[in-house]
Structure 1
């Protein structure tokens, strides 16, 4: 059976390079930098990123949330999970993009008192036309042979690939999730905790998903002893 091809994990220097290139070359750097950071700093999948709404990241008062309960209908396995928006770089990117939306009147309401004047049920990330990224209904075969339908944000995924390609990397949005999970494990979280934050029902899926080198395994083993 051929090995499963997985997106590479990115070092912090590589992530900075991708963000710098995006800032310099993208026509919509505020949105695109935020999209990249949502995968790297919160572990979101591409479609989960596309389906985030303004109300998910803002309180009605306009204050940024620290935690977001992803709705079950927006996740891959239809299980609600908690994500955290506490990373300083991620919060700064959110502030920049929300200000950009207000300045350019993208998805704004007539009521400036709530949600900073943005319509709460609009998608957080908008295309250049001011609408959410299109979702495509697809099918996949589950391990038990059953077929399941799911939504895929192919247009946003293509955008991710283009951003990485501009930075000299051939990878997908999954590079963010894999880097996120790997970083959490290296920081001392258990495999079970990483699985919860990634939204995996099975720790075996997480174990095959993240990147752990031999040196790290040896260090973890010696620490456990």
Structure 2
């Protein structure tokens, strides 16, 4: 079964509930922002470093990439920190992170005082979300980040969004772009899937809003 697509009205509700109910609202809003505002998987979000997002002068890397060392398939793919909404959420979180004295560097003039090699997202103790390695059926090592996956599930549950998981962010990202008219090859490049069929399956199973279709008739 494909991951659930979180529709715009549910996303809006999710952000409102998180802002009010979260113990670390700035961080959790940024976590939701990157989940829906990028095609990154949970393991990639957990491994994302400050230097993957910011330049030494503290600005966003407009033309960047998901580097091979953190990419889910070991292949680098392009990414762009160009969304004003996502960057605004990250700005708020970075300010809060500095106030909490989490993962800072001795050089206060670089990377907004944050250690460039520290993970972007930290838990309440100021630690990275840890990955767990396991072997699949054919003996290949796969990585998971259960703690961050569970955290995303708890945010969805608090907002009453049934069936949504961290994988919903990646699929929602792809479906949203397709609904806006962007072509499949460009969406595919951002997702980083090796097989175009995988991307097409994510998009072809887009749930149809029958009410929206009916309303457009008159």
TM-score > 0.5, shorter chain as reference: yes
TM-score, L = length of structure 2: 0.90
Count of aligned residue pairs for this structure pair: 209
Provide the secondary structure at the position in 2 that maps to 1:212. Answer: coil
Provide the secondary structure at the position in 2 that maps to 1:73. Answer: coil
Aligned match of 1:65: 61
Runs of 4+ in 1 over 4 A off after TM superposition: none
1:183-210 C-alpha deviation (Å, 9 max, x unpaired)? 1111222222211111111111011123
Assess if the C-alpha contact under 8 Å between 1:42 and 1:84 holds in 2: no
Residue range with higher mean Cα deviation, 187-196 or 45-54: 187-196
Provide the secondary structure at the position in 1 that maps to 2:140. Answer: strand
Aligned match of 2:194: 201
Assess if the C-alpha contact under 8 Å between 2:58 and 2:112 holds in 1: yes
The answer on 1:26 being equivalent to 2:22 is yes
Kindly state the Cα deviation for residue 149 of structure 1 after the two structures are TM-superposed.
0.8
1:7-29 C-alpha deviation (Å, 9 max, x unpaired)? 21112221111111111111111
Aligned match of 2:159: 167
Kindly state the Cα deviation for residue 76 of structure 1 after the two structures are TM-superposed.
1.2
Residue range with higher mean Cα deviation, 84-93 or 156-165: 84-93
Kindly state the Cα deviation for residue 95 of structure 1 after the two structures are TM-superposed.
0.4
Kindly state the Cα deviation for residue 213 of structure 1 after the two structures are TM-superposed.
5.1
* 1:99-178 correspondence runs (5 A): 99-141=95-137, 146-170=138-162, 171-178=164-171
Aligned match of 1:218: none
Provide the secondary structure at the position in 1 that maps to 2:65. Answer: strand
Aligned match of 1:189: 182
Kindly state the Cα deviation for residue 150 of structure 1 after the two structures are TM-superposed.
1.9
Kindly state the Cα deviation for residue 107 of structure 1 after the two structures are TM-superposed.
0.7
Assess if the C-alpha contact under 8 Å between 1:67 and 1:85 holds in 2: yes
TM-score, L = length of structure 1: 0.87
Q: Which runs of 5+ in 2 are unaligned?
A: 210-218
The answer on 1:212 being equivalent to 2:215 is no
**Aligned-residue CA RMSD (Å):** 1.8
1:19-72 C-alpha deviation (Å, 9 max, x unpaired)? 111111111111111111112111111111111111111100111222331111
Assess if the C-alpha contact under 8 Å between 2:10 and 2:161 holds in 1: no
Q: Which runs of 5+ in 1 are unaligned?
A: 216-225
Quote the Cα distance in structure 1 between the aligned partners of 2:2 and 2:181: 23
Kindly state the Cα deviation for residue 214 of structure 1 after the two structures are TM-superposed.
6.6
Quote the Cα distance in structure 1 between the aligned partners of 2:107 and 2:200: 47
